[in-house]
Structure 1
């Protein structure tokens, strides 16, 4: 009887541990389906930096299941001639190529884009940035490195 009880308890504990270890934990940061991102646009983040008084913010949500990035960019103090997300091969402080052009430049700029795997990797690694260009500063007047929102 004692031996049977001990055997059943061992089997129960092993089963319980297996079931709970396989269950998704949606509240863990890397287990959620969505990840929040933020950025603050200003001239000091441009490469090279500038003294623009223009400012802005970027907020976004990335859905890891659908691979879709939804974003909103608000800005003041400039009239952009172009704007987009760039992928920086070297991370913050390094310029890179355009991956998502904005279809409208009126604040707030809103949009959605489905990312390719290399773009998703760059987003998660902090290698994307938002850039707004103007006639006065065609290489970029204000920029924001896109970072995970602090929990």
Structure 2
């Protein structure tokens, strides 16, 4: 098949797939989640900030962007924790890599249990500082 005919054929095939609802991976749907940071574990500070995230189910990837301020000091480590509802603690399940400067963007892969936590509203972000090694700021993820 000559190059021009093959290119036209592939373009028509791709267009037909899109019209038929068989979108390629780059057109995958995403789900939006967000949360607002607040102080926890008896901190006297009044942390503020947000996390906005897009979850791509077919790839099992959560892409996030977060901002924070008004902490007692620099963030020393950050995690996604779960499963726990607001007001309850849970262990870390996914490390958020640094450097820990606001704003922070990145992505993590989630396993099926972590995806269930995300969809059930029991996955949260915890920002840890030297003054509050168990966590100073928390943002519960919700659709």
TM-score normalised to structure 1 length? 0.70
Distance verdict in 2 for CA 1:91–1:53, change over 3 Å: closer
Q: How many residues align?
A: 115
Separation in 1 of the partners of 2:42 and 2:139?
12
Which residue of the partner structure matches residue 142 of structure 2?
A: 147
Which residue of the partner structure matches residue 137 of structure 1?
A: 132
Which residue of the partner structure matches residue 87 of structure 2?
A: 93
Deviation at 1:115, TM superposition (A): 0.8
Deviation at 1:33, TM superposition (A): 2.7
TM-score normalised to structure 2 length? 0.73
Who wins on radius of gyration, i.e. which is larger?
1
Indicate if the aligned counterparts of 1:42 and 1:52 stay in contact, CA closer than 8 A. Answer: no
Separation in 2 of the partners of 1:33 and 1:119?
19
Structure 1 gaps of 5+ residues are: 1-22, 25-31
Structure 2 gaps of 5+ residues are: 1-19, 22-27
Which residue of the partner structure matches residue 14 of structure 1?
A: none
Separation in 2 of the partners of 1:128 and 1:94?
11
